[in-house]
């Protein structure tokens, strides 16, 4: 698992900065690794197991809230558009109704005009017909007198009566024609106004249908908006609940009663947990020509104390430590390591009678806490060591002048390495 994750981290680093050397990649991964470790109580793990699903859901909830907010905004726009349409429809329908009402008034007026005009035509027709009848009688009397060769005294009155009858007929005919013209005009106006009424009534009907349709759409949009608003309110309430769960878990994570910090040293913590984001953003460098060898810890057979070095050659060439058994790292000087046949668990090992736990071991009088220490000739407890009052911080220890990697800081040019005297116990720098 660790190998796969580290391989992926290296690939990510090289993808962004292909010019990095293997030593630079290793340095950046170590410099940016997380060094904070905590051991939590069973109560915390029970709380975390209960709250973790809520924490996962909480990470998704803001997106849901945003989606519901978008839905509310969209539904609100739909409602506003529907309200605008309905308002416009209502205005048009009102205008249409006003036109129809005016048309009805005009048609009523036209009907009122047609009725007396029609009556006048009827009266004129009756008068004209009577005149025609009188004229017909006068014509017949005059014709008989003329046929009987009546004297002038008889013919002259008959001729005057016939002329008067004809004059009356002509006058009544003109009156009839005038009455008919008035009636025709009134009827034409009535027909025109009726056609306008029918057209306006059709428009009113069409606009009323559109109004009803838009009102239905408005009601639907308002329902959609109400649903979206309720969904948003529910999502916000859920988010508040989930945020409370996140806060509860965060409080538990940072409650000193729920955890104990792990010892921060190279054996218990090592390089730390990878922080890929920090590693990718890191610009840390190592000295030109420096290499990032992993140190090896070994038991010095002369003192039975554990030491650490990255200078394998010097150690192997030192007859006093030739054939040592490593505690941490690979085989050194061709001799089996901690995990070999002469191991931490053997009779002459870390756990043996003459071992780390023995009288001359890590915990003994010349051990980690003694004057001759695991890491060098100066005791860990002295005021010039990692744990002392003048201790070197982690980044100076691992890259410093008394460190595995040379120089006094990541960007130093010092080339005065002391490989085994004052190596970092406190872990790698953050």
Q: Where are the domains of the chain?
A: 2-37+265-399, 54-253
Contact 23, 260 (CB under 8 A): no
User: pLDDT at position 138, please?
Assistant: 92
From CA 39, how far away is CA 87, in angstroms rounded? 68
Task: Give yes or no for a contact between 261 and 37, defined as CB atoms under 8 angstroms apart.
Answer: yes
Q: pLDDT for 276-295, tens place per residue?
A: 788 888 888 777 666 666 66
CA–CA separation, 316 vs 389, rounded Å?
33
The class that CATH gives domain 54-253 is: mainly alpha
Tokens 């009535």 found at = 190
Task: Return the pLDDT at 271.
Answer: 65
Residues in the chain with pLDDT < 50?
A: 322-323, 326-331, 335-430
- Sign (positive/negative) of CA torsion 182, 184, 188, 193? positive
pLDDT at residue number 350: 38
Residue closest to 103 by CA, chosen among 185, 186, 194, 188: 194
Distance CA 216, CA 58 (A): 38
pLDDT, residue 86, reads 97
Output the pTM of the full model: 0.48
DSSP 377: S
């Amino acid at each position: 698992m660790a190998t796969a994750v580290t391989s992926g981290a290296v690939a990510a680093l090289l993808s962004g900065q292909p010019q990095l050397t293997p030593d630079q990649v290793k340095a950046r991964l170590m410099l940016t690794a997380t060094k904070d470790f905590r051991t939590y109580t069973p109560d915390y793990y029970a709380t975390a197991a209960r709250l973790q699903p809520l924490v996962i859901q909480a990470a998704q909830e803001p997106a849901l809230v945003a989606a519901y907010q978008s839905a509310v905004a969209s539904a609100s726009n739909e409602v506003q558009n529907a309200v605008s349409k309905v308002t416009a429809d209502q205005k048009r329908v009102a205008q249409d109704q006003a036109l129809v009402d005016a048309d009805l008034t005009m048609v009523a007026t036209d009907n009122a005009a047609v009725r007396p005009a029609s009556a006048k035509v009827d009266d004129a027709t009756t008068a004209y017909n009577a005149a025609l009848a009188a004229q017909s009688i006068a014509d017949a009397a005059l014709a008989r007198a003329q046929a009987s060769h009546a004297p002038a005294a008889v013919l002259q009155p008959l001729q005057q009566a016939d002329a008067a009858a004809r004059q009356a007929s002509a006058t009544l005919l003109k009156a009839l024609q005038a009455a008919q013209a008035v009636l025709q005009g009134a009827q034409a106006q009535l027909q025109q106004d009726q056609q306008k009424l029918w057209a306006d009534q059709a428009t009113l009907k069409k606009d009323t249908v559109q109004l009803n349709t838009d009102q239905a759409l408005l009601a639907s949009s308002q329902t959609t908006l109400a649903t979206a608003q309720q969904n948003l309110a529910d999502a916000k309430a859920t988010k508040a609940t989930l945020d409370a769960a996140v806060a509860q878990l965060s409080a538990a994570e940072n409650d000193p009663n729920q955890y104990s910090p792990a010892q921060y040293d190279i054996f218990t913590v090592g390089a730390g947990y990878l922080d890929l984001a920090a590693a990718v953003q890191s610009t840390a460098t190592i000295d030109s020509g420096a290499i990032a060898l992993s140190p090896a810890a070994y038991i010095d057979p002369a003192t039975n104390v554990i030491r650490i070095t990255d200078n394998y050659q010097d150690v192997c060439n030192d007859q006093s430590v030739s054939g040592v058994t490593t505690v941490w790292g690979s085989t050194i000087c061709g001799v089996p390591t901690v995990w070999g046949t002469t191991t931490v668990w053997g009779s002459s090992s870390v756990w043996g009678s003459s071992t780390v736990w023995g009288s001359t071991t890590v915990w003994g009088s010349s051990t980690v806490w003694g004057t001759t220490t695991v890491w060098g000739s100066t005791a860990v407890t002295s005021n010039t060591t990692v744990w002392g009052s003048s201790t070197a911080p982690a980044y100076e220890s691992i890259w410093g002048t008394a460190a595995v990697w040379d120089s006094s800081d990541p960007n130093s040019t010092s080339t005065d390495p002391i490989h085994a005297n004052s190596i970092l116990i406190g872990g790698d720098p953050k």
